[in-house]
């Protein structure tokens, strides 16, 4: 069971590295998906350890949150592309309020 | 069952490393789908069949299709056909194909042995999950539906502006202020 949590930690760290290293905003969104997935894996692993349904319930909530997040995030990617003609996340570092 | 877990975990870690090191977005997406499928196999070995099905249908199915759509939209241009021919070359899909074959082999192995039991404490049936979802977690389900509604309205709002801006580019109107577009 600890191996499941170890795997979840590894995947989360890899996603965090991706968020920190990559500057293409599509890759940043993919790395966020990896991190959310690793969190869900940790919840399901813990739920399987105690044979409780709560882990999978929390995974369900994480899944719906990821779906909503990725819909809005990809719409923002399209807007960024149209407005700045690039996918570099640093291009949108200033807010023109 | 332990060997299945370890092989799937190795596939997940390898494909995730490939995701964050690829330069081409579609290549990274192929590896990301493999990573999600590997995590689905891990859910299955943990006795969480409901979570495994959700992972395949929603994550690897719906969310990744959204990524593919957006990447294809972003690549509209004269160099799109050149990229298309490059994506069809074997070296872009042979890695994900090998990792996917490993997962298929694991699935066939599990089904052939007929051993669907979790190693530790017994499987959590989908029935238990459903009872918990609509019992003590009913408020959470309502909140999740509100969140999905908000996400849908937000994505529609941003995407609609993008389409209108495209059609207005002909007359040179570059209204950058959000307030203007909100009034249309």
Taking CA–CA distances from B58, the nearest residue in chain A reads A63
Q: B115 pLDDT band (50/70/90 cuts)?
A: low
Does pLDDT of B182 surpass 50? no
> Which residue, among B17, B49, B67, would best test binding to A if mutated, counting the most A CBs under 10 Å from its CB?
B67
**Letter string b/e over residues B54-63, b meaning 16 or more CB atoms within 10 A of that residue's CB:** bbbebbbeeb
CA–CA dist B71, B27 (Å, integer) = 11
As a whole number, mean pLDDT of residues B35-49 equals: 90
Over pLDDT 90: what percentage of chain B? 24
Q: Which of B70, B157, B147, B178 is nearest to A74 (CA)?
A: B70
Which chain B residues are within 8 Å of A59, Cβ to Cβ?
48, 51, 54
| Beta-carbon separation of B58 and A63 below 8 A | yes
CA–CA dist B26, A24 (Å, integer) = 13
Mean pLDDT lowest among B4-8, B70-74, B104-108, B173-177: B173-177
Mean pLDDT lowest among A30-34, B53-57, B171-175: B171-175
Mean pLDDT lowest among B38-52, B70-84, B168-182: B168-182
Judged by DSSP in three states, A24 sits in: strand
| Beta-carbon separation of B13 and A7 below 8 A | yes
As a whole number, mean pLDDT of residues B111-133 equals: 72
Does pLDDT of B173 surpass 70? no
Cβ-nearest to B159 among A31, A44, A78: A78
Cβ-nearest to A78 among B28, B73, B147: B73
**Letter string b/e over residues A53-81, b meaning 16 or more CB atoms within 10 A of that residue's CB:** bbbbbbbbbbbbbbbbbbbbbbbbbbbbb
As a whole number, mean pLDDT of residues A20-24 equals: 86
The answer to whether residues B18 and B31 touch, using CB atoms and an 8 Å cutoff, is yes
Does pLDDT of B170 surpass 80? no
- Ranges assigned E (strand) in B13-155: none
Tens of pLDDT, residues A35-79: 999 999 999 999 888 888 888 999 999 999 999 999 999 988 888
Over pLDDT 70: what percentage of chain B? 74
- Interface predicted TM-score of the whole assembly (ipTM), two decimals: 0.90
The answer to whether residues B102 and B7 touch, using CB atoms and an 8 Å cutoff, is yes
| Beta-carbon separation of A30 and B151 below 8 A | no
For residue B147, the model assigns a pLDDT of: 94
| Beta-carbon separation of A82 and B165 below 8 A | yes
CA–CA dist B96, A31 (Å, integer) = 18
Does pLDDT of B177 surpass 60? no
Does pLDDT of B43 surpass 80? yes
The answer to whether residues A91 and A43 touch, using CB atoms and an 8 Å cutoff, is no
């Amino acid at each position: 069971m600890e191996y499941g949590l170890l795997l979840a930690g590894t995947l989360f760290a890899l996603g965090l590295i991706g968020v920190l290293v990559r500057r293409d905003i599509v890759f940043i969104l993919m790395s966020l998906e990896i991190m959310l997935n690793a969190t869900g894996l940790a919840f399901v692993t813990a739920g399987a350890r105690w044979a409780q349904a709560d882990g999978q319930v929390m995974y369900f909530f994480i899944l719906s949150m990821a779906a909503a997040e990725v819909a809005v995030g990809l719409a923002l990617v399209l807007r960024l592309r149209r407005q700045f003609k690039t996918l570099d996340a640093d291009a949108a570092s200033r807010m023109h309020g | 069952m332990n060997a299945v877990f370890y092989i799937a975990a190795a596939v997940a870690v390898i494909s995730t490393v490939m995701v964050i090191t690829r330069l081409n977005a579609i290549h990274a997406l192929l590896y990301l789908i493999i990573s999600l499928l590997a995590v689905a196999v891990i859910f299955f070995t943990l006795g969480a069949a409901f979570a495994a099905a959700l992972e395949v249908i929603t994550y690897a199915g719906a969310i990744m299709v959204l990524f593919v759509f957006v990447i294809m939209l972003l690549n509209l241009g004269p160099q799109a056909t050149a990229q298309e021919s490059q994506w069809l070359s074997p070296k872009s899909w042979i890695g994900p194909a090998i990792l996917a074959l490993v997962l298929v082999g694991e699935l066939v192995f599990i089904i052939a042995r007929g051993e669907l039991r979790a190693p530790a404490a017994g499987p959590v049936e989908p029935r238990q999950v459903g009872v918990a979802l609509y019992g003590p977690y009913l408020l959470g389900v309502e909140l999740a539906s509100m969140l999905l509604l908000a996400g849908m309205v937000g994505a529609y709002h941003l995407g609609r502006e993008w389409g209108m801006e495209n059609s207005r580019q002909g007359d040179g109107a570059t209204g950058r202020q959000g307030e203007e577009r909100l009034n249309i």
